[in-house]
Structure 1
Amino acid sequence: MKLMDGNKKFVVRDPKKAHLFYIPFSSLKLRNALHEPNFASQKDLENHLKNYVDTVARKYRFWNRTKGADHFFVACHDWAIRFTRNNLGSCIRVLCNSNIARGFKIGKDVSLPVTYIRSGENPSKDLGGIHPSKRPILAFFAGGMHGYVRPILLQYWNNREPDMKIFGPMPRDIEGKARYREFMKSSRYCICAKGYEVHTPRVVESIYYECVPVIISDNYVPPFFDVLNWEAFALFILEKDIPNLRGILLSIPEEKYTVMQQRLKIVQQYFVWRKIPEKYDLFHMILHSVWYNRVLQVKP
């Protein structure tokens, strides 16, 4: 919000000149505000959201012009996709949970990259990793046992092969996080297995550390797919193929792996968040996706 508001290239003061309208919204803050004795159910959340939309519609005539089709909001909570589908379903929804089986609509909704802001002042710090020819680990994963996919991953590959470093949760202290990064920097492939929902920050982390992402998350729509060819630098493996994971990775020719790894360095710039935005960075890419979906909707 701050970066948009401070950039004259994106914000106009005359609403008649606007192509899109941003709706300030936080699914997490809404839940925290209403999680009181009198507001306990999802229905209460939806009703509160309806009142919010009704207020916007009464106060600003631009909502009624398109029924909200030229409005957009951002929501990264798992359940935002579910309880916005009715009251904000006509909007462009920028969602982390880009699950087409749960109602994510390609061509209208936008897949938001899930990532931590590493360092706004020095975003390039610690990017990259060991040269691809010297990475000793074939595949790496570490994380909590959320959902049904990750337990299956550990069942087949935990302590099975020396070049498959597949773990449960690692310590989240300074030493644990440093060890996690070193595993990524030393691995050829980083397993990005879904948790409770389809999205995981490991996808962007893999790109940061130039470890080819292996996305195991059926129904997941990756961010910026409208301009990026994800299959050129990432692998998509069906959940049912987890038992064959090592064989699939070993069957990839060295030349293909090298090219994919090199392409990670090219796309890396699109996933970096800067305190002062630069062309093609994460801030610009997200807004481009929103604009692009709006262009698709107004085509005759």
Structure 2
Amino acid sequence: MQKAVENLVKELNQETMSRSGKEKDKKIARIEAGLARARSLIKDAINKSRDSPPLTEDLDYVPQGEIYRNAYVFQRRGSPLFHYGPSKDIYSTEGIFLGLIESSTHFRTYDPDEAHLYFLPFSVVMILQNLFDPVIRDKAVLERSVVQDYVRIVSTKYSYWNRSLGADHFMLSCHDWGPRATWYVHHLYFTSMRVLCNANTSEYFNPRKDVSFPEINLRIGDISGLTTSGSSNRTILAFFAGRLHGRIRPLLFQHWKDKDDDVKVFDKMPERSSLSYKEMMERASNLVCARVRGGES
């Protein structure tokens, strides 16, 4: 009996070592693949730098130090991931908000001891446009590689995050993956304020602390003249125009399309309509945001 137990223990130890070795090999293979990709990108950058213009003098973009044989190879390319956002597409309110924060002195202060709130200016749109590989489709680049590191740096370098565990900090995103960007940072997800255009409770939007933000497909990068003054011209109770997708919109069309003069619901704007899409928005007291995918809205 004792011999059988000893043999069993020996077999279990061998199996454990075998599994441990395979896991170690897989981990090393992943590291090697990452290094190979880095070497390939560096080589590609070197080839491109031969025909590139001289280095810019902007120290925010140029790496410093004797470690670099060719600093241009490691110069940051593309749009910044922080303090920057789009202002001429469906995610335009990200860039508009950032621009207003930078240009307005009424609500902004550079003295952190005077501030009531602290803004975390990372752009989910810019992260995805610059770092997300459409082939590999590794979503971890959004959560763990960027946002988690950003919050770690902020909490390590400054005391303001730690004194409230991020409760007086907020982020803003109009991208569908805005909520996802906070998943891997516990206090950012559960404690901080998240200003989101994707404000769906089915994706864990918390109305007790999170804030819903309007999403506008702004094509000109300017919000002046977008709204009317007063409510006297708002003769339409509610307005919606959008293609038939998901579970919510068919129900909206079934109950309201062509059935009420006060509630204007279209799958597309009528060609002979006396009012344009923009004019319909200006005349409506309520704008319906019917999400594409199933779930709560």
- TM-score normalised to the size of structure 2? 0.51
Report the equivalent of 1:26. Answer: 123
Residue number among 81, 102, 105 corresponding to 1:5 in the alignment: 102
**Structure 1 residues 164 and 61, CA gap change in structure 2 (3 angstroms):** closer
Report the equivalent of 1:268. Answer: none
User: Contact conserved, 2:143 with 2:180, CA < 8 A, in 1?
Assistant: no
Aligned mates of 1:190, 1:22 — CA distance in 2: 29
Q: Does 1:64 align with 2:165?
A: no
User: Contact conserved, 2:124 with 2:142, CA < 8 A, in 1?
Assistant: no
* Partner amino acid, structure 2, of 1:51: D
Cα distance, 1:12 vs. partner? 2.3
* Partner amino acid, structure 1, of 2:203: R
* Partner amino acid, structure 2, of 1:12: T
User: Contact conserved, 1:71 with 1:91, CA < 8 A, in 2?
Assistant: yes
Aligned mates of 1:108, 1:84 — CA distance in 2: 14
Residue number among 146, 151, 166 corresponding to 2:245 in the alignment: 146
Q: Does 1:180 align with 2:277?
A: yes
Aligned mates of 2:165, 2:130 — CA distance in 1: 27
Cα distance, 1:84 vs. partner? 1.1
Q: Does 1:55 align with 2:153?
A: yes
* Partner amino acid, structure 2, of 1:97: N
Aligned mates of 1:152, 1:185 — CA distance in 2: 25
**Structure 1 residues 16 and 38, CA gap change in structure 2 (3 angstroms):** farther
Report the equivalent of 1:85. Answer: 183
Identity across matched positions, percent:
35
Cα distance, 1:26 vs. partner? 1.4
Report the equivalent of 1:76. Answer: 174
Aligned mates of 2:223, 2:112 — CA distance in 1: 31
User: Contact conserved, 2:195 with 2:213, CA < 8 A, in 1?
Assistant: yes
Aligned mates of 1:82, 1:102 — CA distance in 2: 9
**Structure 1 residues 154 and 54, CA gap change in structure 2 (3 angstroms):** same
* Residue ranges of structure 2 left out of the alignment (5+ in a row): 1-97
- The 10-residue stretch of structure 1 (29-38 or 14-23) with the greater mean CA deviation from structure 2: 29-38
Helix, strand or coil at the partner of 2:276: helix
User: Contact conserved, 1:143 with 1:168, CA < 8 A, in 2?
Assistant: yes
User: Contact conserved, 2:143 with 2:183, CA < 8 A, in 1?
Assistant: no
Aligned mates of 2:104, 2:258 — CA distance in 1: 51
Cα distance, 1:23 vs. partner? 0.8
Aligned length: 194
- The 10-residue stretch of structure 1 (152-161 or 54-63) with the greater mean CA deviation from structure 2: 152-161
Q: Deviations over 1:43-99 (max 9, x none)?
A: 332112212222222332322222222211111112211331331213211111222
User: Contact conserved, 2:144 with 2:184, CA < 8 A, in 1?
Assistant: no
* Partner amino acid, structure 2, of 1:54: R
Aligned mates of 2:205, 2:156 — CA distance in 1: 28
What's the Cα RMSD here? 4.0
Aligned mates of 1:164, 1:58 — CA distance in 2: 52
Q: Deviations over 1:111-169 (max 9, x none)?
A: 1123355854445569868684xx7xx87542122321112333565567899764323
Report the equivalent of 1:206. Answer: none
- The 10-residue stretch of structure 1 (46-55 or 145-154) with the greater mean CA deviation from structure 2: 145-154
Report the equivalent of 1:108. Answer: 209
Structure showing greater relative contact order (alpha-carbon pairs closer than 8 Å, 6 or more residues apart): 1
Residue number among 32, 35, 42 corresponding to 2:139 in the alignment: 42
**Structure 1 residues 125 and 20, CA gap change in structure 2 (3 angstroms):** closer
Match runs of 1:228-247 below 5 Å: none
User: Contact conserved, 2:246 with 2:291, CA < 8 A, in 1?
Assistant: yes
